[in-house]
């Protein structure tokens, strides 16, 4: 995300859970535990929608010394949006991107 100009960043949402049993796999990862995710919402001036969403799953492998790994970005069915999803309504706002003073709509 360091390469993304702050003027394009709408909001970043992160969540996590120590609940075991949430599995994750993709073409490079056969099996891992899903510990959380990061969702990046950015303005999309060249698209016919207001926002683009990229998803970054946070995973770990079952071992005593396992560390957290971030995969992505993943653009899925929820990539092109006109507004922040209802499921994030009421989310706690911990900070705003540099230069922004308004809380994102829906937070």
- Determine, yes or no, domain membership for 47: yes
pLDDT grade, residue 6 (50/70/90)? confident
Domain encompassing residue 29: 9-84
- Determine, yes or no, domain membership for 38: yes
- Determine, yes or no, domain membership for 98: no
- Determine, yes or no, domain membership for 1: no
- Determine, yes or no, domain membership for 16: yes
Task: Determine which of 2-6, 43-47, 79-83, 85-89 has the lowest per-residue pLDDT on average.
Answer: 2-6
* Length of the chain counted residue by residue: 107
Cα maximum dimension of the chain: 47
Transcribe 40-97 into DSSP letters.
Answer: EEEE-TTSSSSEEEEEEEEEE-SSTT---EE---B--TTSEESS--GGGTT-------
- Determine, yes or no, domain membership for 15: yes
Q: How many domains, in total, are found in the chain? A: 1
- Determine, yes or no, domain membership for 89: no
Cα–Cα distance measured from residue 63 to residue 33, given in angstroms and rounded to the nearest whole number: 11
Q: In this prediction, what percent of the chain has a pLDDT beyond 70?
A: 80
């Amino acid at each position: 995300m360091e390469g993304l100009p702050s003027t394009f960043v709408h909001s970043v949402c992160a969540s996590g859970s120590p609940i075991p049993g949430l599995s994750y796999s993709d073409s490079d990862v056969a099996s891992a535990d899903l510990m959380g995710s990061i969702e990046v919402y950015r303005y999309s001036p060249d698209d016919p929608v207001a926002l683009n969403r990229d998803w970054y799953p946070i995973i770990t492998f079952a071992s005593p010394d396992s560390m957290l790994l971030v995969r992505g970005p993943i653009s899925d069915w929820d990539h092109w949006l006109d507004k922040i999803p209802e499921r994030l309504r009421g989310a706690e706002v911990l900070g705003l991107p540099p230069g922004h003073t308004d809380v994102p709509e829906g937070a």
